[in-house]
């Protein structure tokens, strides 16, 4: 069977959609990590060909997620982790239930594998699940449920009580859950001693059949490292590790070594960045309250959120016109399987964000 992927409209838009003076299309941070490269690079790290990557990073992640090391697989970014999560779990004809809205590769990967795709909606404005609907869909037959924590594009998290409710329904039918957790660390909180602790637990803490994926991309702004991981039940990790060995056997020891230092030093860098995010979230929230035709669902600590509008126009047209007429770049909801809204990223200069909102104001005023 030949894999045939549908278009990746979001990435096409980000790369080729055009330049904007007020670019609110991003979804990650860009913190500086001084001194790490000099501290980490040593003889043998660049030419190390041992399969598996940094054993120290594996040990760190095992402690972080409270799992044994044989349940951790290092990958070349979160996208590769998602790929092997699917390859180790489903195949042609498998029934895959996905949340909606959703990051489109999580739809296109299983679709290209020949899986049967269905959706369950996160409903605005809270973008939460109807557990009765989830029960009905799982009862009808599902091989895996796919979620995000936080959701992309809304920035809404799945807190512990929500995870336990979902796990209870899934356990009733023996359905595994894949959760892309690449945004979860946006809700890290700093204790008085400077230690950063999770406000939202990982799904692996609340469900024995959970697989989770993540990386140092979104929260840590270190996408160039291509350092990610897949964590799950041992049988899935063994299967995924064998598949990875046959397809992309290595991960970079240099990248995983640097990623470990980024994670170790997050308490010295992230708190100030998170305070910036909070101030920008307050700005957007106050701005949106001043309009009757726009609805902003407050994200849970993320620098991305979804803005719905009441006007009867497709999101792709709205975003093209915002770019062409106001030089403001946001991401159409259509790319996330949701309409009449767009994703906004807040990781820009405060004044750029404020002017971008003013230009969005003027655009919708003219409608």
Here the tokens at position 61 are 């992640």
How sure is the predictor about 325, in pLDDT bands with cuts at 50, 70 and 90? very high
Here the tokens at position 225 are 């490292």
For 138, 187, 220, 295, the CA distances from 116, given in Å and listed in that order, are 14, 33, 34, 33
Query: pLDDT tens digit string along 4-45?
Result: 777 777 777 877 778 888 888 887 777 777 777 667 666 566
Query: pLDDT tens digit string along 136-169?
Result: 999 999 999 999 999 999 999 999 999 999 999 9
How far is the C-alpha of 298 from the C-alpha of 304, rounded, in Å? 9
299 and 332 in a single domain? The answer is: yes
Tell me how many helices (H) and strands (E) the chain has.
12, 15
119 and 230 in a single domain? The answer is: yes
Here the tokens at position 276 are 């910036």
248 and 274 in a single domain? The answer is: no
17 and 82 in a single domain? The answer is: no
99 and 165 in a single domain? The answer is: yes
Residues of the domain holding 341 = 9-27+269-366
How many domains does the chain fold into? Answer: 2
- What does the angle CA 210 – CA 213 – CA 218 come to, to the nearest 5 degrees? 140
- Tell whether 40 is covered by a domain: no
CATH code, domain carrying 122: 3.40.640.10
Domain endpoint, select from 201, 234, 264? 264
- Tell whether 334 is covered by a domain: yes
Q: Who's near 143: CB < 8 A, 6+ residues apart? A: 89, 90, 94, 95, 96, 115, 175, 176
Residues linked to residue 332 through DSSP beta bridges, in sequence order: 342
CA dihedral angle for residue 263, residue 265, residue 269, residue 275, rounded to 10 degrees: 60
The share of the chain scoring above pLDDT 90, in percent, equals 78
Query: pLDDT tens digit string along 235-287?
Result: 999 999 999 999 988 898 889 999 999 999 999 999 999 999 999 999 999 99
- The pLDDT of residue 122: 93
């Amino acid at each position: 069977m030949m894999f045939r992927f549908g278009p990746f409209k979001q990435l096409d838009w980000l790369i080729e959609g055009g330049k904007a003076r007020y670019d609110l299309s991003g979804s990650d941070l860009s913190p500086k990590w001084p001194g790490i490269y000099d501290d980490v690079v040593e003889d043998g790290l660049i030419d190390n060909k041992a399969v598996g990557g940094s054993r120290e990073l594996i040990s760190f992640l095992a402690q972080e997620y409270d799992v044994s090391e044989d349940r951790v697989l290092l990958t070349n970014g979160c996208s590769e982790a998602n790929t092997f999560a699917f390859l180790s779990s489903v195949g042609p004809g498998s029934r895959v239930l996905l949340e909606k809205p959703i990051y489109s590769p999580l739809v296109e990967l299983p679709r290209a594998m020949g899986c049967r795709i269905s959706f369950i909606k996160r409903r605005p404005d809270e973008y939460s699940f109807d557990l009765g609907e989830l029960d009905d869909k799982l009862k009808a037959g599902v091989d895996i449920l796919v979620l995000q924590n936080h959701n992309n594009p809304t920035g809404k998290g799945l807190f512990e009580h929500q995870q336990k409710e979902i796990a209870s329904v899934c356990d009733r039918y023996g359905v595994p859950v894949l959760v892309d957790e690449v945004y979860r660390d946006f809700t890290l909180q700093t204790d008085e001693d400077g230690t950063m602790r999770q406000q939202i637990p990982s799904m692996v803490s609340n469900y024995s059949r959970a697989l989770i994926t993540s990386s140092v991309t979104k929260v840590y702004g270190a996408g160039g490292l291509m350092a990610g991981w897949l964590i799950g039940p041992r049988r899935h990790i063994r299967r995924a590790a064998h598949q990875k060995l046959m397809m992309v056997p290595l991960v970079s020891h240099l990248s995983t070594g640097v990623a470990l230092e980024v994670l170790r030093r997050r308490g010295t860098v992230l708190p100030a960045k998170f305070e910036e995010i909070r101030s920008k979230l307050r700005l957007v929230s106050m701005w949106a309250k001043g309009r009757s035709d726009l609805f902003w669902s407050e994200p849970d600590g993320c620098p991305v959120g979804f803005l719905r509008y009441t006007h009867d126009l497709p999101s792709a047209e709205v975003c093209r016109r915002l770019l062409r007429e106001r030089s403001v770049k946001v991401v159409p909801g259509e790319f996330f399987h949701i309409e009449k809204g767009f994703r906004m990223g807040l990781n820009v200069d405060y004044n750029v964000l404020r002017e971008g909102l003013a230009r969005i104001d003027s655009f919708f005023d003219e409608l």
